[in-house]
């Protein structure tokens, strides 16, 4: 439900969001990228499992928590997209790393 109105730069990066490949403009935040790619949620809440999308885009609301490059609980609005980044939904509370 979002679109781009101006080419700030012609560079794009490849992202893997929920295991699907997307090309997005370089220099934008992960949250902006996820909205631009048309996703209808970034996570399910730990309390009720209800879906959320980015809300404040400035780092205060923590509604955009996602798993970025395997690290959970990242604020998607505060992280800039990088080439070949993997971005996944966060379902409920983050899981602790498994002990080997």
Partner 1 sequence: MKQHYELLVIGAGPAGLAAATDAARLGVDVALVDEQKFPGGQIYRNVSRARGQLINYLGKDYMRGKQLVVEFLQSAADYIDNASLWYLDDRLEAGLLIDGASRFISCDQMILASGAQERPMPLPGWHKPGVMTAGAGQILLKSAAVVPQGKLVLAGSGPLLLLLAAQYLRAGVAIEAIVDTTPASRLIGALPGLPRALGAIDYLLKGLSYMHAIRKARIPVYKHVDDLRAEGDERLEAVCFSVGRGNAASEMRIAADTLMLHQGVIPNTRLPLAAGCDLAWDQQQQSWKVSRDDWGQSSVDQVMVAGDCGGIVGARAAELQGRLCALQVACKLNKLDQDQRDRAATPISKFLNRHLAIRPFIDALYAPAPAYQLPADDTLVCRCEEISAGEIRAAARLGCVGPNQAKAFTRCGMGPCQGCLCGSTVATLIADETGAAIEDVGYFKVRPPLKPITLGELSSS
Q: Which structure tokens are listed for 72? A: 């959970």
Q: Residue from 11, 18, 80, 95 that binds partner 1 (CB under 8 A)?
A: 80
The residues, any chain, with a CB within 8 Å of residue 94's CB and separated by 6 or more, are 67, 72, 73
- Measured from the CB atom, the residue of 73 and 86 that comes closer to partner 1 is 73
- Is 47 among the residues that bind partner 1 (CB under 8 A)? yes
Q: Which of 29, 60, 61 is nearest to 45 (CA)?
A: 61
Query: Smallest distance from the beta carbon of 21 to partner 1, in angstroms?
Result: 20
- Is 26 among the residues that bind partner 1 (CB under 8 A)? no
- Is 6 among the residues that bind partner 1 (CB under 8 A)? yes
């Amino acid at each position: 439900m979002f679109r781009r109105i101006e080419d700030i730069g012609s560079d794009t990066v490849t992202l893997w969001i929920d295991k699907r490949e997307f090309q997005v403009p370089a220099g934008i935040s992960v949250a902006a990228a996820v909205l631009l790619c048309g996703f209808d949620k970034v996570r399910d809440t730990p309390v009720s499992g209800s879906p959320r999308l980015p809300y404040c885009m400035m780092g205060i609301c923590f509604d955009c928590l996602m798993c970025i490059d395997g690290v959970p609980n990242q604020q998607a609005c505060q992280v800039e997209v990088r080439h070949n980044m993997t971005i996944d939904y966060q379902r409920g509370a983050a899981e602790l790393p498994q002990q080997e």
